[in-house]
Structure 1
Amino acid sequence: MPKVIGTHSGHFHCDEALAVWMLKQTAEFNDASLVRTRDPAKLAESDVIVDVGGVYDPAQSKFDHHQRGFVETFDEKHATKLSSAGLVYKHFGREVISNIIGKSHSNEDLETIYQKTYNDFIESLDANDNGISAYPSDITPLFKESPTSLPSRVAKKNPAWNESLTDPEIDARFVEASNLTGEELAGYVKNLIAAWLPARTLVVDALEHRNEVHLSGRVLALERSCPWKEHLMDLEKERGLTGDKSILYVLYPESSPEGNWRIQCVPTRPEGFENRKSLPESWRGFRDNELSQISKIDGCIFVHAGGFIGGNKSRHGAYEMARLSLEL
């Protein structure tokens, strides 16, 4: 007999829409039917209950977070209280991720994607549903949040205040919302596998060979251009590369037929332009032969006026820019 997923009827949110979708990606609930009700007797007939019932007990397949005294988080490293999405992800997320990416990936890759997906996708949904702000309340936002966020798009699936729908019509809207959240999650995870994880592999390899680039170990050379900032900072934390062991410069080839190389300073945070050690001030804003004469390095192309990036016609030239920058 097919199993039943139970959740509340009426107005719905992103967290239970995604929770239901994730449950249906598991072997246990893949063919489950969905019941939306607030009738305790009908909910009691469900095999798993999410976002309603006032009980969190995974042994009984009950995943609510609204009850007084609920303080469950993803793990001891996180402070955000879980919503029904986070609860289901905590208990079923590895299976969900595995079914999205297939069985050909290592347990290490699976765990990396599992943790990354919670941090960058699920946690914000938990915070949104639990009324947790991303910033302190004494900070005045400079602009309104985008109305195209996933919770906002799910909210728009609910009937408008002046729109009258029957219960079956609202249930159909919920299914649309659930599929929407699932498509977003699956697309996010597939992109991690297709692009994010391969970039991490390149940065791991560069870190392991950093002493071959410069004896200080503070210069990386990537085999190809890729998004590296987030990976580098995460890996530095994992490996204890702080202080005078942290990376200062990253070298990588441009994706162009000329074979040019770039040198980029490692920022103090992934999103910023404040550098751990900028390129020399005397080089900034100069180009080509003039820059080569000033720096005494052949093949220079440019150094940005902000001092965070530069270019050279060869790998060796980019390395020389890093070597002298370390010394100056």
Structure 2
Amino acid sequence: MTNGLRLVTHGGSFHCDEAFGYAILRRALPPEALAASTLARTRDPRVIEAADIVWDVGGVFDPERRRFDHHQKGAPVRPGGSPYSSAGLLWAAYGRDAVRNILAGRGGEDVVERLWTEVDEQVVRLVDLADNGLRPVPDFGDEGLDRAARIAEGMALPSVVEALNLPWDADPANRSQGEDERFARAAEIVGAFLDGRIERSRARLAAYDTVLDAHARSADPRVLELARGMPWQGPAHDADLPVLFAVYPDKGGDAWMVGCMPPEPGSFAQKLPLPQAWAGLRDAELVRVSGVPDAVFCHLNRFIGGARSRAGALAMARLAIELAP
């Protein structure tokens, strides 16, 4: 019979770091140990002292004793000097196990390390900064950009978790139970995000070789021909491929898409958009203007279009190149 672990974090209202920490542990610990474990949300020193894993409370950072607080004087910092939260401390100790278990054998240790590093840099570090009162996004000195940054922060993971706390005027008689229920819900949401982020990143890495192989077999190096939809823009950027368009079946299998290549990762622009004359057209009108017999649509912003067949989608891509100024 497996002995369960006594997991402890603080009670009351919660932040993203301790909810994220609990999500990490739930993915990192062996299933049989987790099934027999208990979670206590408390500041009782006796309960904290008797616990197996403690985070965000207790005033101690000692990985060997499995204590992961960051509020005490002399708390650990990242190599660059930025502070950890309990999420960052638990990610450093248990994150690789969490990634490994989420992957469930669909990637070697090199993939585990790459995904651990990516999540640490792009997600966990930002949770650390937010929990320590530091803005992940600096001031731009531009009113519009600064307002957009504040709006983006309001939709970020720490703000999502913050919104799950009980309001100040909730019924005090049931507040403790309600806070525990809200914490469990927050950990489930953060955990689902972590699962999805790892899965999407794994799929992106898995697409790299497939995209390069498909490009080598494509008739025109400017038109990437894919047998199925997948993340193709990142691999094309990373390999510096001369791709202007990618042609691939949509997920429903009812059409073939023509996607435009952005000039740089994350850009909403296109190296070469679809022709201006096609913008916003559909079906018969698009067929008439483009001359492609089974053309279906062209987005108003000209970054994607589609046809009923692979041949039709290829024709749209080739015409777009021919018609370019």
Q: Calculate the TM-score normalised by the size of structure 2.
A: 0.71
Q: Which residue of 2 aligns with 1:321?
A: 316
1:140 to 114, 138, 147: 147
Deviation at 1:247, TM superposition (A): 3.1
Deviation at 1:311, TM superposition (A): 2.6
Q: Which residue of 2 aligns with 1:155?
A: 165
- Equivalent runs, 1:159-308 vs 2, <5 Å: 160-161=168-169, 163-165=171-173, 170=176, 172-191=177-196, 197=202, 201-202=206-207, 204-216=209-221, 218-225=222-229, 228=231, 232-233=233-234, 235-236=235-236, 240-242=238-240, 245-254=241-250, 260-268=255-263, 273-284=268-279, 299-308=294-303
Tell me which amino acid in the other structure corresponds to 1:82: Y
Which structure shows the higher helix fraction?
2
Distance 1:10 1:180, change over 3 A: closer
Distance 1:260 1:150, change over 3 A: closer
Deviation at 1:11, TM superposition (A): 3.8
Q: How many residues align?
A: 309
Q: Is the 8 A contact 1:203 1:222 kept in 2?
A: no
- Deviation track 1:159-195 (CA, whole Å, cap 9, x = no partner) reads 72575358xx62x445424422332244335546777
Deviation at 1:8, TM superposition (A): 3.3
Q: Which residue of 2 aligns with 1:18?
A: 20
Corresponding residue SS for 2:257: strand
Distance 1:21 1:188, change over 3 A: closer
Q: Is the 8 A contact 2:165 2:179 kept in 1?
A: no
Deviation at 1:5, TM superposition (A): 3.1
- Deviation track 1:189-214 (CA, whole Å, cap 9, x = no partner) reads 55467777557645641332213214
Say if 2:69 is the partner of 1:64.
yes
- Equivalent runs, 1:29-44 vs 2, <5 Å: 30=34, 31-38=36-43, 43-44=48-49
Distance 1:292 1:162, change over 3 A: closer
Give, in whole Å, the separation in 2 of the partners of 1:215 and 1:306: 24
Q: What fraction of aligned residue pairs are identical, expressed as a percent?
A: 29
Deviation at 1:278, TM superposition (A): 1.4
- Deviation track 1:202-253 (CA, whole Å, cap 9, x = no partner) reads 564133221321443x432232345x3xx632x346xx434xx353211122
Deviation at 1:37, TM superposition (A): 4.6
Q: Is the 8 A contact 1:15 1:129 kept in 2?
A: yes
Tell me which amino acid in the other structure corresponds to 2:134: I
1:87 to 86, 89, 110: 89
C-alpha RMSD of matched pairs (Å): 4.2
Q: Is the 8 A contact 1:100 1:189 kept in 2?
A: no
Q: Is the 8 A contact 2:23 2:188 kept in 1?
A: no
Tell me which amino acid in the other structure corresponds to 1:276: K
Q: Calculate the TM-score normalised by the size of structure 1.
A: 0.71
Tell me which amino acid in the other structure corresponds to 1:135: V
- Deviation track 1:283-319 (CA, whole Å, cap 9, x = no partner) reads 5456667766765655444444432222334323322
Corresponding residue SS for 1:176: helix
Corresponding residue SS for 1:65: coil
- Equivalent runs, 1:101-140 vs 2, <5 Å: 103-107=104-108, 110-111=112-113, 114-115=116-117, 117-118=119-120, 122-137=124-139, 138=141, 139-140=146-147
Give, in whole Å, the separation in 1 of the partners of 2:251 and 2:38: 50
Q: Is the 8 A contact 1:81 1:127 kept in 2?
A: yes
Give, in whole Å, the separation in 2 of the partners of 1:310 and 1:85: 42
Deviation at 1:54, TM superposition (A): 3.8
Q: Is the 8 A contact 1:24 1:32 kept in 2?
A: no
Give, in whole Å, the separation in 1 of the partners of 2:280 and 2:23: 52
Give, in whole Å, the separation in 1 of the partners of 2:236 and 2:311: 25
Distance 1:302 1:198, change over 3 A: same
Distance 1:55 1:299, change over 3 A: same
Q: Is the 8 A contact 1:14 1:154 kept in 2?
A: no
Which runs of 5 or more structure 2 residues have no equivalent in the other structure?
A: none
Q: Is the 8 A contact 2:12 2:179 kept in 1?
A: no
Corresponding residue SS for 1:209: helix
